[in-house]
Structure 1
Amino acid sequence: MKKPCTKAQCAIGFTFLWLTGEFVMASIGVRNNKLVVDFRHFDVRCREQTELEDNPTNRRKLEKLIKTIEGDMRLDCFVYRDYFPGSAKAKQFARHDDEASKRKAECFSHYQPSVAKTDHVLFQSFADEWYEENAVRWKNSYQQTISFILKSYLKPEFGTVPMNLITKADILKFRARLGKEKDDGKKLSADFVNHVMTPLRMILAEAADRHGFRTPFENIKPLRVDKTDVEPFSLEEVKLIIDEVREDFKPYFTVRFFTGMRTSESDGLKWKYVDFDRRIILVRETNVNGFMETTKTLGSYREIQMSSLVYEALKLQQHISGKRSEFVFCTSKGTPLDHRNVRDRIWKPLLERLGLTYRRPYQTRHTAATLWLAAGEAPEWIARQMGHSTTKMLFEIYSRFVPNLTRQDGSAMERLLNENQI
């Protein structure tokens, strides 16, 4: 049985191989504007194409990777499949990889484990491991979001870079490119860029904790996100929309305008959560991109009181879908509504036909809140109907629509002074 090499033997072997020049330096090529690593391994020419576009930043990243590869080669510890797991060449070197893995374990057992590990743990490998470990605690919709961000943004940028070689400068330059306007004039919002950066921060923090290096994602604050004004409909506009919308969608939009339910909540509403006797709607599940999930927050798990208008709309809807589906609002096949389909085929054409400025269907929720406030309903009651834990958000978002309620016009004090003849 071959004895493990000692620390001294590893160092001697490293020096000998370096002086004898057994290793041919790898080079960087370009194919279809994507960078290619070109090197020889066991006298076989290997060209591995990456997903990195040809630019100075990506070339620097690839140079870091090449240095790591050459370091492993000099110690005869280069494991091909670790660097290029999806490559057809990896199968060709399977036997060599098995032997190299053993040698690497033997050699690096004499060194600090964290140093040995981080030199060859690539971002894409660690990111996949991190995703698998955490996906179990995420909702399906969030799993889809993280998977999309990893595939579309993070892996193409950092995939082939060892975790400990990603720098703060790399992160900031990546974020700056995300925020730049594209050739077609479109630009990612600051909010979306922040969403992309969140899993990157989490992955780097976890890798740093496991492998003993300092995370480069320090003191990087999120981009400033401008506050978006709500654009509720007036009561006259609501009446016009409900009068003119398709008959089979009148109950749907009546419920949305006068309950403040989110899109996912109304689209996921089931008949078992509609209590006609007590005239309440139980918000217990949501439909997010076709997946039935729990509510957005604990506060969203609530009971909404039906007005007479909502009660009649749901009674009418019961005759339409009550026997063919467990969902209150559904397709002719009994499946839940697709919010994109409703938006593009019902909502947009209707607003255009009525000459109303386009607003997202989500504005129906804001409309309910402003109508309740304007009617003089208690803010605490409105907050419960909306699923807010306090009235703070209610006043921050909607107070400008009802100045008399928030006492911003001084009328309440005037009445008090007059009534008391002060």
Structure 2
Amino acid sequence: MPLGRGARMGLGFVGVAGLLAAAGLAMTMAPSEPPAAETDGSVAPSASASTEHRRDEALTDRAGLLAQGDAEALIQAKDALQSPSGSNQGESLAAEPLTQDQLNAWLDDLVGLGSGFRRFGPVDRSRVMELIGGALDRMTVSPVPDRWIEALPPSAELLTVGLADASPAVRAAAAEVLGRVWGWQPGTAIWPDAERTVATWKNRLHTPLVSLLDDAEPGVRLATVIALGKLPIDAMAEPAVARIADEVPAVRMQVLTSFAPRRDVLTDDEVLPLLFDPESPVALAAQLVLKARGLNDDLIGLAKLLYHPRADLRASAIAQIERREDIDPIVWLDRLSHDQDEQVRSQAMEALSRLASPDARRRVSEMAASDPSPTVRDAARRALDDLTADLPPLPGSPDLYPRAN
């Protein structure tokens, strides 16, 4: 369900707070790294198979320097991608389309970067990720030069290597670029073959990105949640929801912010426990999400009882649920019938047995067969026996035709 404007503004506020917190954590927790170029081989080989045939050809002067990890050449490569109008100060690289000469030079630079990526220091490797993102942005502006599709394979190779980089900053920078990739389309109409190429290019980047959800650095996990949250396909974005239980508050906050409008991906049951999050901004964000999804303060108060740390207060919600006529009691009682506390489950089972509903009886039958407590299983069986005894006789039953004495 799409959020209203006010809800988006509220969530945006707490989302910014989460991003700032995560940025601080990423800066303080990221391992210190020397600014010099690294040649220890900690980064996987980054050569693009699609450009392998060009390795034997003479590189341009700048591409040759990039292959050696030259930082000045990297600055020159960025300058070469700037808008020819020169009006780039404070503007995105995507302000104007690439010229054919710029794209030709960028394709050569990609070959050099593919060879020399691991020779750059961590700061410059992050800049390579940003440069790839900027070049892709420029290619979304019409008219795009004819050779645009040649830039996709080497860009994917470098982004994949960036996602596996030893530096958390590089991994986070690569994830940020991927967040823009999902909606990427060239600035021109394309044929089905080219559409399939673009789709394949995007798909190959998904698996290495998802692996960063378990990254040791919170800033990287947060960047990954943001990137997956921009993926329009629910099944492919859903892995990020697991970070709703992340130990870092900023990451939990970002899951709420990124998936607030996507109720089928981040369910209410996954949001409700965060109403008792130890960090008050996260708890507030959870409440804003639920309100945006249509729960009023009264229902949120009842939901809080279902997830209260105290078992007796969770059990106290049962009587309130039975009295209300504005909710589906089976949904709420079903949740309590799975409670970790035996007494809460037992009382929920009793309440379900009082409902004249096939769904309620089905849940009681499940508890009679599989509840972890033998006491609850026995009570559920007795409740089922009582329900069966109260049913009218079946057609043809002897009870319908009592014999005279």
What is the TM-score normalised by the length of structure 2? 0.29
Higher relative strand content: 1
* Higher relative contact order (CA closer than 8 Å, sequence separation 6+): 2
TM-score, scaled to structure 1: 0.28
Q: Which structure dedicates a bigger proportion of its chain to helix?
A: 2
